[in-house]
A and B are shown apart, each in its own frame.
Chain A
Amino acid sequence: MSSFSAQQLIDFVYAEARMLDEQRFEEWLDLFTDDGHYWMPLMPGQTDPRLQCSLLYEDKLLLRVRIERLGGQRTFSQQPRSRCHHLLQAPTIESADAARGVWTLRTAFHYVETRLDQQNLFVGWCTHDLVAVNGALRIQTKRVDLVNCDAAFGNINLFM
């Protein structure tokens, strides 16, 4: 079973955010396990993504739809494209089980998404459930809890 240092785990989270800021979405999608999920709960402390509504609960297929759509010729809501910026607090390792190859990291963030003259700030915490797959770290679940997850939002176009 592969072993990762604390710094490697933390660097993974930074690198993941940077991929999003640089819109390297194909590479980003490859970070997920085949049955991985990206989850944005609708309620604080939500535990159920199935029988409680979420802002997003997407598997790789749905994430791929999102990514392909962003560059589509007839994706008018992304002409011009959105841009984003992550500002992360240092991730903390919440749990580590090297024997099973699973780790959980928590990272506070400020995220800005812009399009045209509009700039929106979103604030919250990311939780990464990471696993080792063939010697590399992969995302089993990335959970994004916005501090105001139940507020009324306009469009959220990219990934936090």
Chain B
Amino acid sequence: MAALVRDTEVHKALYVDQQVFELEMEHLFANTWVYVGHASQIPNKGDYYTTTVGTQPVVMVRHTDDSVQVLYNRCPHKGVKVAGEGCGNTGKFFRCPYHAWTFKTDGSLLSMPLRKGYDNTGFEHCEAQHGMAKVGAVREYREFVFCRLNPQGESFEDYFGESLSTIDNMVDRSPVGKLEVAGGVLRYMHNCNWKMLVDNQTDTCHPMVAHESSAGTAVKVWNEAPAGTPKPMAVELFAPFVSPYEFFEKMGIRVWQNGHGHTGVSDSIHAEYSPAPGYWEQMVEAYGETRAKEILGDVRHNTVYWPNIMVKGPVQTLRLFKPIAANRTLVESWTFRLVGAPDLLLERTLMYNRLINAPTSVVGHDDLEMYERAQEGLHARGRDWVNVARLFDEAERDQRNAVTNGTNEWQMRNQFRAWLKYMTASMPEATK
């Protein structure tokens, strides 16, 4: 494993090798704190939502004591996924649709038909008697639910450190300090490795090149509009993508520990959106002017929470990169309503999501074309490494919570160091 990650290069096997992918699912996605869902998706007792952590099927459910539980979605009897796809309310218990075994919403076995047939069979020694298995650990942070599949490992606080400030900022943008999942989720299938998407989130040197076709054309069409035409919201969202290198250099990148980091420290492409009438007054009322200014002045661009989500505080979106195979990834783009804030902000959030993250998005098309070309190109012989050397400095290895030039590939290197750390944390010495 260690041989695959160098200071400034990573081996192509990280992207194309299915065996490496299987190891990622077994180790990396079990040792890290992975995003599951948002508590607003399951407000009432018995509400559930099914998803995957890595490739593991799980169900997030509101238990009778109001806690959020994350269970492997697998009947201990014959292996059937107990909770149906999507979301719903299961009442006080889950009932497997195959043989009617039932489970409390914390997973424990409640009943099974023909119970007597298990007398004197040693059933009490079978794993099935413990019901649906819980994941290793669950933690809800300001309603964002994360889990670690492995029971042992790094604590939530040590894992995320100061990076949680991006979630704080997104939640604080609501005058009542609350978010709700809203608007529907965009689902976009990518024939590429999940890490290509993660790498791209802090890749500030591609927008002016790859998105010249989409954002660049939007600017061109807008420039042809008659003078005096009010600038449409869509142009406001598109245009900053084709800002020059200098803009991205200056906006900065903050690099935290364990693969987390964000672009847009002092400025970002989300800084200049038109104000929503009434919103500023609501924020001042809720927080006071100084604090309101601080919250809204923090215009972070993309925050990567390693391994597989990206959060945009000022736009209230969360993208989840769900790994399916070495060369296949489902991208889910979720949107949030700032509870108590004007509807116009949700409208903008949804327009942003549609314009940038949909399978019909021209910006999405630009990116996916590059990912898929890379997925195929990486198979080429003669070059085995992917390069992440820009602005490398040996001193960076020991630093955490550092701010640097916005075109530094430090954050990508940070991700690969985290990749190695969590891949090997639970491996026997010889395979590290």
Residues of A within 8 A of B (CB): 40, 42-43, 50-57, 59, 61-62, 64-66, 68-69, 72, 74-78, 150-157
Contacts and interface: CB of A to CB of B under 8 A. Distances in A.
Contacts of B220: 68
Given A61-B221, A77-B369, A42 B186 contact: yes
Given A56-B358, A62-B234, A51 B350 contact: yes
Interface stretch (B13-21, B67-75, B163-171, B211-219): B211-219
Interface string B344-358: 001100100111001
B222 interface: yes
Nearest to B213: A75
B222 A76 contact: no
Contact of A52 (B183, B214, B369): B183
A46 B157 CA distance: 41
Contacts of A43: 184
A153 B187 contact: yes
Given A65-B218, A69-B217, A152-B189, A50 B360 contact: no
7 contacts: A52-B350, A53-B335, A72-B216, A75-B213, A76-B213, A77-B369, A157-B365
A72 B122 CA distance: 70
Contacts of A75: 213, 366
Nearest to A76: B369
B366 A77 contact: yes
Contacts of A68: 217, 220-221
B186 A53 contact: yes
A124 to B, nearest CB: 14
Residue of A51, A68, A77, A78 contacting most chain B CB atoms (<10 Å): A77
Contacts of B340: none
A72 to B, nearest CB: 5
A103 to B, nearest CB: 27
Closest 8 pairs between A and B when the two form their complex, measured CB to CB: A77-B369, A152-B187, A153-B359, A75-B213, A77-B365, A53-B183, A53-B184, A69-B217
Interface string B217-235: 1101110010000001011
Which secondary structure dominates where chain B touches chain A? helix
A82 to B, nearest CB: 10
Contact of A154 (B191, B212, B343): B191
Nearest to B224: A64
Given A72-B212, A77-B369, A154-B190, 8 more contacts: A50-B350, A53-B183, A56-B358, A64-B221, A68-B217, A74-B216, A151-B187, A154-B189
Interface in B257-273: none
B135 interface: no
Residue with the greatest number of chain B CB neighbours at <10 A, chosen from A74, A154, A155: A155
Contacts of A72: 212-213, 216-217
B188 A152 contact: yes
A43 B183 CA distance: 10
B378 interface: no
A68 B215 CA distance: 11
Nearest to A157: B365
B297 to A, nearest CB: 27
B350 A61 contact: no
Nearest to A54: B354
Contacts of B362: 65-66, 69
Given A42-B186, A154-B191, A61 B222 contact: yes
A58 to B, nearest CB: 8
A42 B353 CA distance: 12
B330 interface: yes
B188 A153 contact: yes
B418 interface: no
A122 B220 CA distance: 31
Interface string B186-213: 1111110000000000000000001011
Contact of A55 (B213, B217, B360): B360
B303 to A, nearest CB: 21
Contacts of A154: 188-191, 359, 368
Nearest to B335: A53
B212 to A, nearest CB: 5
Contact of B183 (A51, A150, A153): A51
A53 B350 CA distance: 5
B364 interface: yes
A120 to B, nearest CB: 11
B224 to A, nearest CB: 9
A132 B221 CA distance: 27
A38 to B, nearest CB: 10
B354 A57 contact: yes
B325 to A, nearest CB: 14
Contacts of A52: 183-184, 350
